[in-house]
């Protein structure tokens, strides 16, 4: 594929957006017309996942895996940094003739950012912040970002929340507006013959859940349905019941407060949907819509009352399943696939769609075979690992979750997801053959992924005797 024929790529990446928060993919309670447009004009992977994470800040390893295409235990320091030999998506495209622009949240160190992008603006190197006062950086072609000094603040019930001061504050402008305006301004002014890659990384719908009043008024908490697996509290210790995310709502969880959180969560998503629509319009006005691939994805899910949890530090579907949509040239329209896949599979997929070689450091699997033949499965199962307390495996609609708490093999859960998508009925004592089969598979994946005694696996596997 010649350089002039290569597709442009626009990547929308949201923060804490669960898989079931798109109207066109089955949620009639939410308003997402622009994401719905991508669904209609593209291929949606309805069972896309992350492998969970090696840090309570699950988004950090998730973003490292996304941008490098590497598996959970083959990234460095939970994704705080990205080594030079771990090629990033932006770097691969840049090395193949693309102009690359990045804006918004980058949680994986400034050096990797400098390698990835030729251009950028409104760059946030931290993990979370007040959406109306984001400390952001202007693009620095030297990659120094000298004011990137971690500071500790006591915000939102956290004594150890890190943020980076940036070189200016976006006072009074919501983060979703900030990143989309940076992207539309860059696209509007783009005058190169090179294809472009635009990476737009939202801070929303991560808490604090704030948005313009117009969008808040679209949702009445009384009209929000509680999920079937809503609980007042998690039935047992999962190793993370009292971390920051879980302190955002009172104990025990109550329906009224949970509905308020869900209404604000939906409002934030509708707001970011409105903003990303402006980016799509900018591409359309530029006259390159038909030669632009759009990717829409989220970095992790969020419980918000499911199983009595509010965060993303678990191996339940509400925390590890994420939206994933491709639309544009080479992508079938209005196709919905239930193929098991990871976010780290995006990297090789984009390489194939762009007609460039996938870097050797990438471990993901291209999803283009699924686009060509929807019944194709590129993975025969999925492996999950949360810190040193949880390990899980999924295959053929069955999921096994094992817990080690306080240096003891504490609990086992087994769910038939086909019959029980809300993960309510633990069949571990009834389906012992399936339990044992999945335990063997769990150990197999752990070995293949290098989940061993040299990393987070040390505290988990030494207490497992099955």
Q: How far apart are CA 202 and CA 145, in angstroms?
A: 20
**393 & 286 share domain:** no
Please say whether the beta carbons of 175 and 16 come within 8 A.
no
Domain count, the chain: 2
In a shared domain, residues 178 and 225: yes
Count the neighbouring beta carbons within 10 Å of the beta carbon of residue 233.
13
**Most distant CA pair in the chain, distance:** 64
Quick one: 133 and 68 in the same domain?
yes
- 392 with 259, same domain? no
* Confidence at 110, pLDDT banded by 50, 70, 90: confident
Q: Are 381 and 440 in contact (CB under 8 A)?
A: no
Query: Does 180 have pLDDT greater than 60?
Result: yes
> pLDDT category, 104, cuts 50, 70, 90?
very high
CB 72 within 8 A of CB 53: yes
Residues 356 and 399 in one domain: no
Domain membership of residue 43 as a residue range: 3-372
Domain stops at, among 348, 372, 396 = 372
Q: Do 232 and 90 share a domain, yes or no?
A: yes
* pLDDT (mean) for 142-161: 52
CATH number, domain with residue 95: 3.40.720.10
CATH number of the domain bearing residue 431: 3.30.1120.10
Q: Give the residue from 329, 349, 372 where a domain finishes.
A: 372
**Section 15-27 average pLDDT:** 97
Q: Which two tokens stand for residue 49?
A: 């996942």
pLDDT tens readout for residues 402-456: 999 988 998 999 999 999 999 999 999 999 999 999 999 999 999 999 997 566 6
Three-state DSSP at 321 gives strand
Residue 396 lies in a domain: yes
Tell whether 289 is covered by a domain: yes
Whether 74 is in a domain gets the answer yes
pLDDT surpasses 80 at 157? no
Q: Are residues 368 and 387 in the same domain?
A: no
Q: Is the pLDDT of residue 107 over 90?
A: no
> Is 279 in the same domain as 422?
no
Average pLDDT, stretch 156-162? 41
Mean pLDDT of the 210-233 span: 97
Q: Where are the alpha helices (DSSP H) in 413-456?
A: 432-448
**Exposed, middle or buried, 281 (CB in 10 Å: 0-12/13-18/19+)?**
middle
Instruction: Tell me if 103 is assigned to some domain.
Output: yes
What pLDDT, on a 0 to 100 scale, did the predictor assign at position 455? 60
Report if residue 466 sits inside a domain. no
**Is the Cβ–Cβ distance between 121 and 135 less than 8 Å?**
no
User: Is the pLDDT score of 87 beyond 80?
Assistant: yes
Q: Is pLDDT of 178 > 70? A: yes
In this prediction, residue 151 carries a pLDDT of 41
Q: What is the DSSP string of 146-173?
A: TT---EEEEETTEEEEEE---SEEEETS
Compare 162 and 417 and report the one with higher pLDDT: 417
Q: Is residue 377 part of a domain?
A: no
Which pLDDT belongs to residue 183? 98
Residue 159 has what pLDDT? 42
pLDDT of residue 161: 43
- Predicted TM-score of the model (pTM): 0.95
pLDDT tens digits for range 358-417: 999 999 999 999 999 988 999 999 999 999 999 999 999 999 999 999 889 989 999 999
For residue 155, pLDDT beyond 50: no
Best CA proximity match to 414, nearest among 422, 423, 406, 404: 423
Whole-angstrom Cα distance, residue 445 to residue 384? 9
Distances in Å between the Cα of 346 and the Cα atoms of 33, 104, 317, 397 are 23, 19, 20, 22
204 and 80 both lie in a single domain: yes
Asked which of 347, 372, 397 is the last residue of a domain, the reply is 372
With a pLDDT cut of 70, the percent of the chain lying above it is 94
Residue range 268-315, pLDDT digits in tens: 999 999 999 999 999 999 999 999 999 999 999 999 999 999 999 999
Residue 393 sits in the same domain as residue 453:
yes
120 lies in some domain: yes
Q: Is 385 left (phi over 0), alpha (psi -120 to 50) or beta?
A: beta
pLDDT value, residue 5: 83
Mean residue pLDDT of the chain comes to: 93
Quick: pLDDT tens for 67-85. 999 999 999 888 888 999 9
- One domain for residues 353 and 441: no
* Residue 358 lies inside a defined structural domain of this protein: yes
Same-domain status, 241 and 386: no
Q: Is the pLDDT of residue 112 over 70?
A: yes
């Amino acid at each position: 594929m010649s350089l002039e024929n290569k597709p442009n790529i626009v990547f929308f990446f949201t923060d804490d957006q669960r898989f079931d928060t798109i109207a066109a993919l089955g949620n009639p309670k939410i308003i997402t017309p622009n994401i719905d447009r991508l669904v209609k004009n593209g291929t949606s992977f309805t069972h896309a996942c992350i492998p969970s994470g090696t840090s309570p800040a699950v988004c950090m390893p998730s973003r490292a895996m996304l941008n490098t295409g590497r598996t959970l235990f083959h990234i460095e320091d939970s994704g705080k940094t990205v080594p030079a030999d771990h090629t990033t998506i932006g770097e691969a495209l840049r090395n193949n003739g693309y102009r690359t622009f990045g804006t918004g949240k980058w949680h994986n160190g400034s050096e990797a950012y400098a390698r990835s992008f030729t251009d950028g603006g409104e760059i946030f190197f931290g993990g979370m912040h007040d959406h109306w006062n984001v400390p952001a950086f202007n693009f620095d072609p030297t990659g120094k970002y000298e004011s990137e000094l971690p500071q500790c603040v006591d915000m939102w019930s956290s004594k150890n929340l890190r943020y980076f001061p940036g070189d200016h504050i976006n006072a009074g402008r919501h983060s979703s507006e900030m990143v989309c305006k940076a992207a539309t301004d860059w696209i509007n002014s783009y005058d190169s013959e090179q294809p472009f890659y635009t990476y737009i990384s939202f801070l929303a719908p991560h808490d604090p859940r704030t948005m313009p009043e117009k969008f808040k008024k679209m949702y009445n908490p009384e009209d929000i349905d509680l999920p079937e697996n809503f609980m007042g509290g998690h039935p047992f210790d999962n190793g993370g019941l009292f971390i920051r995310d879980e302190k955002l709502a009172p104990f025990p969880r109550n329906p009224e407060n949970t509905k308020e959180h869900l209404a604000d969560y939906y409002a934030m998503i509708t707001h970011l949907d409105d903003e990303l629509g402006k980016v799509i319009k900018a591409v359309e006005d530029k006259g390159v819509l038909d030669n632009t691939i759009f990717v829409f994805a989220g970095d992790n899910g969020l419980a918000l009352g499911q199983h009595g949890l509010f965060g993303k530090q678990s191996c339940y579907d509400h925390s590890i399943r994420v939206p994933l949509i491709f639309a544009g040239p080479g992508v079938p329209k209005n196709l919905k696939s239930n193929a098991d896949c990871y976010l780290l599979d995006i990297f090789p997929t984009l390489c194939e769609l762009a007609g460039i070689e996938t870097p050797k450091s990438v471990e993901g699997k291209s999803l283009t075979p699924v686009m060509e033949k929807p019944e194709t499965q590129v993975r025969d199962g999925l492996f999950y690992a949360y810190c040193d307390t949880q390990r899980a495996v999924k295959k053929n609609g069955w999921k096994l979750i094992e817990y080690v708490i306080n240096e003891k093999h504490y609990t086992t859960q087994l769910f038939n997801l086909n019959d029980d998508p809300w993960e309510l009925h633990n069949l571990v004592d009834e389906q012992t053959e399936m339990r044992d089969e999945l335990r063997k598979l769990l150990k197999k994946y752990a070995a293949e992924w290098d989940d061993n005694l040299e990393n987070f696996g040390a505290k988990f596997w030494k207490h497992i005797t099955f």
